[in-house]
Structure 1
Amino acid sequence: MLKDLSYKSEELKYQLLKFMDEYVYPNEQVYEDQLNEGESRWVVPPIIEVLKEKAKAQGLWNLFLDDEEYGQGLTNYEYAHLCEIMGHSLIAPEIFNCNAPDTGNMEVFIKYGTDEQKKQWLEPLLSGEIRSCFSMTEPDVASSDATNIQGSIVRDGNEYVINAKKWWTSGALDPRCKIAIVMGKTDSNAQKHQQQSMILVPFDTPGVVVKRYLPVFGYDHAPHGHAEVHYNNVRVPASNILLGEGRGFEIAQGRLGPGRIHHCMRAIGAAERALELLCKRAEEREAFGSKLAEKDVIKEIIAESRIEIEQARLLTLHAAHKIDMAGAKAARKEIAMIKIAVPRVSLNVIDRAIQVFGGGGVTEDFPLAAHWANARTLRLVDGPDQVHLRDVGRLEMREQLK
């Protein structure tokens, strides 16, 4: 059974829906036009900063943080409903300062950062003045198993020296990106899950080299983007280590639990938008003597889409509620389940919408193709389906055989 939302979260939901209708959807094309106006797409469209200020003025800011000192103090369950609304538009999360990887990085600073680290990096992230990135996966190893990571973080007096080749460092190309959280190996002789650490690397540190940007199915995702980044003998103060040596996996687990809820609820929002567009298109277009909406095959795919979306939403809200009640570790199976199920549902629904749109569905005239690329990527982000399937199977067996 679904829980009732608090009065506060209901009010925020109403405000957010209104803001999306008044400001976000009408400016999606403005955003794209501004990106394409200059010689480079790696600049920040002015409209995004205008909309951020409007959102901040209305209190629609840092909604993801459950700590009232920093955000709205919403539970994961409450925020999930808002996150779904943001998922309708690919530009929306940043407008409300609820965009990855900044959300996860801000949570890391709040949970594990020192007062000095919070002052230097968390505060400007909370205000939306800067952006950040997270360097974990590597091109030369299967990073679905994070114990494979070979990037090194070596103590040298009062400094650490970082040597690593990373890729899919999202946000590294943004001109506002000022800080990276880098995961690497500090002790090859420690226990398997205590070899890795996380360290803060200011992005203007000598030796940090952005080698290239990595398009996703042809989309550059400018000005945010995804990059291959090399850390060549990068030196940072020893105080930049997060929580201490060997705590990398501990930090990663604290970071990823709520983050997977966010990813999945945004994907449900994308599916909802696709279904809305599908229905409108079917009502507007005629083929073989009648509107598409009158054909049984179209009614069937609409019904299948609605059923799948509702199932995905309930499963995700259940996982969010369990995190709130018992913590991310206790909700590990539920988190893995949604990470498998929700991107599949989102892809199914978006694909059906593309089919109804015909040729238009694969163009950039409509948001479907971009949402499809985003949803397909989600089957790899934060671990591929196969890793989560293994975890669900293992945890289920353990419970059944108690």
Structure 2
Amino acid sequence: MPHLKVRPFDTSRLKGRVAFRALPEGEKGPELVGVGEGEELFILEIKKSPESYLIRSDKISRPLDSNRIKKALAELRDKAGLEVLHSNIELSPNRPPVAAEYDKKIEEFYDGEFPFEKVVLEVGFGSGRHLLWQAKEHPDTLFVGIEIHTPSAQQVLRQIHLQQLKNIWVLNYDARLLLEMLPSNRLEAIYVHFPVPWDKKPHRRVISDAFVEEALRVLRPGGFLELRTDSENYYRYALEVFSCPVKAEFLVEKNRDLPVVSKYEARWRRMEKNIYTLTLYAREESSAKEMRFDFGFRGAVTAERVAALPREAQVEEEFFVHFGRRYRFAEGGGGIIECSFGSFDRPEHKYLFWSEGEAAHYFPGLPVRSAANQAAHQRIGEWLHG
């Protein structure tokens, strides 16, 4: 991750495109600095120790384009005259840029509109070999690749630029949340190739009863969900899950060849490991999903209400809310609160921005439109406004 390690300095010296500074409540936690402008705004953390300060991007608002982070750090370094002890922010002249226009944010899926008639989703694309091959073979289809591993997403965005592809969108997010937002009967296929087995933590598996239910809803009749795995445990688990839906049928294949394989699959084949393919076909058209969600805050916030927000996680039957670190703006009133909420197995992570006498808002964007998120949001609103 791009970062600067510098001598301790007066952070009020920071200049450039600094939108705000936020100081931690008490002595714990890093200082936050908002850099950039408008939709390009993201947050840097300054972690302090007596000998040095470490400046790097946070996890919640971090952009996929690492060059944006490097440029912001370089600007802060130069404007404030920081004494650098260590850094890795030099731009590589030989490294291809990411295809920024295909780096999508979750908010861009809110309306369920796509510029292609045919849309395919690949979950956890890894190195992107299969995703890139499919896009080249089917230029009339939009391939949405979703991947929570940031370096993998960055790598594919660079390949999109190098190969001049026009039909791939990359989303650095949780696929389980994305599925809840998509309109019914919209996808041609969903690929889930070699997901992490999570044998010791099966609740973290991407394939579940809820995932399959949402997948069958968003697939058109005749569309399919394809799982490939080398894990015997995952295969047996998925076999049971795929057997449950009554509005679907599935096919099981062993050691089926594909035109393109990842380096890991090639290694497993050399080791003579079995590769299982389970394909679940949607048979019927699904009813439209009600999408009435509102994540706005209508009332003005007061410091007293913010101070009264619960310090411990609040757990209810269908959702939870947990307020994390709290910050106050270095200039003016108000502040920022780290906030996790929504579903237990696929939580949302946001900042909650507030100013005295104004409405609060989420950053860096609105939550995913899910029932758990909506219920959690309503509870947050009750705490903020009574």
Larger radius of gyration: 2
Indicate whether the TM-score tops 0.5. Answer: no
Structure number with the higher strand fraction is: 2
Q: What is the TM-score normalised by the length of structure 2?
A: 0.29
Structure number with the higher helix fraction is: 1
